[in-house]
Structure 1
Amino acid sequence: MNYILENENIKLSTNTNGGELTSIFSKEDSLEFLWNGNSDYWKYHSPILFPIVGKVKDGKYLVDGNTYELPQHGLARTREFNMIEKTDDYIEFELLWSEDTLKIYPFKFSLRLSYKLLENGVKVGYKVINLDNKEIYFSIGGHPAFMCPLMNEENFEDYYFEFNKIENANIMKLNSNTGYFSGITDQYFHNESIVNLSLDLFKDDALVFSDLESNLISLKSKNHNKSLSMDFSGFPYLALWTKATGAPFICIEPWYGHADYHDFNGELKDKSGIEKLEVGKTFTAYYSLFIE
Structure 2
Amino acid sequence: MFSLKNALLKISVHPVGAELRKISSVKNVNEFMWNGNPDIWNGHAPNLFPIVGGLKDGEYLHGTDIYKLSRHGFARNNDDFVLSEKNNDQLTFTLKYSEETLLSYPFKFEYSVSYELLKNTIKITYEVKNIDDKTIYFCLGGHPAFKCPVYPDENYDDYNLKFEYPETSQTHLLNLNTGLFTGQTEATFNTPNTIDLNYHLFDKDALVFKDLKSKKVTLESKKHGEILSVKYQDFPFLGIWAKPNADFVCIEPWQGLADSENSNQILKDKEGIVALEKHKTYSASYTIEIHETHLV
TM range (shorter): over 0.9
**Separation (CA, whole Å) in 2 of partners of 1:29 and 1:97:** 41
For residues 173-216 of structure 1, give each alpha carbon's deviation from its aligned partner in whole angstroms, at most 9, with x where no partner exists.
Answer: 21122210012233444871111101222111011011111111
For residues 78-103 of structure 1, give each alpha carbon's deviation from its aligned partner in whole angstroms, at most 9, with x where no partner exists.
Answer: 21210011110011110000001001
Letter in 2 for 1:55: G
**Separation (CA, whole Å) in 2 of partners of 1:92 and 1:112:** 7
**Structure-2 residue corresponding to 1:174:** 174
**Structure-2 residue corresponding to 1:250:** 249
Cα deviation, residue 137, structure 1: 0.6
| Preserved contact between residue 216 and residue 229 of structure 2 (Cα < 8 Å) | yes
| Preserved contact between residue 238 and residue 253 of structure 1 (Cα < 8 Å) | yes
Q: Cα gap change, 1:190/1:196 in structure 2, threshold over 3 Å: closer, same or farther?
A: closer
**Separation (CA, whole Å) in 2 of partners of 1:23 and 1:121:** 13
**Separation (CA, whole Å) in 1 of partners of 2:253 and 2:226:** 22
| Preserved contact between residue 4 and residue 12 of structure 1 (Cα < 8 Å) | yes
**Structure-2 residue corresponding to 1:43:** 42
Cα deviation, residue 28, structure 1: 2.8
**Structure-1 residue corresponding to 2:294:** none
| Pairwise CA RMSD | 1.3
Relative to the length of structure 1, the TM-score reads 0.96
Is residue 2:139 matched to residue 1:139?
yes
Cα deviation, residue 240, structure 1: 0.6
Cα deviation, residue 219, structure 1: 0.4
**Structure-2 residue corresponding to 1:19:** 18
**Separation (CA, whole Å) in 1 of partners of 2:289 and 2:30:** 14
| Preserved contact between residue 82 and residue 95 of structure 1 (Cα < 8 Å) | yes
Matches for 1:91-240 after TM superposition, within 5 Å: 91-189=91-189, 192-225=192-225, 227-240=227-240
Q: Which moved further from structure 2: 264-273 or 139-148?
A: 264-273
**Separation (CA, whole Å) in 1 of partners of 2:23 and 2:87:** 18
For residues 48-67 of structure 1, give each alpha carbon's deviation from its aligned partner in whole angstroms, at most 9, with x where no partner exists.
Answer: 01111010011111111211
Give the aligned length.
290
SS at match of 1:113: strand
**Separation (CA, whole Å) in 1 of partners of 2:265 and 2:225:** 48
Seq. identity, %: 46
**Separation (CA, whole Å) in 2 of partners of 1:283 and 1:235:** 13
**Structure-1 residue corresponding to 2:274:** 275
Is residue 2:275 matched to residue 1:265?
no
Structure 1: stretches of 5+ with no match in the other structure: none
For residues 215-257 of structure 1, give each alpha carbon's deviation from its aligned partner in whole angstroms, at most 9, with x where no partner exists.
Answer: 110001111135011011121100110112x111110000000
| Preserved contact between residue 46 and residue 142 of structure 1 (Cα < 8 Å) | yes
Is residue 2:10 matched to residue 1:6?
no
Cα deviation, residue 152, structure 1: 2.6
| Preserved contact between residue 59 and residue 265 of structure 2 (Cα < 8 Å) | no
Cα deviation, residue 38, structure 1: 1.3
Letter in 2 for 1:200: H
Letter in 2 for 1:74: G
Is residue 2:56 matched to residue 1:65?
no
| Preserved contact between residue 168 and residue 190 of structure 1 (Cα < 8 Å) | no
**Separation (CA, whole Å) in 2 of partners of 1:137 and 1:168:** 31
| Preserved contact between residue 219 and residue 227 of structure 1 (Cα < 8 Å) | yes
Relative to the length of structure 2, the TM-score reads 0.95
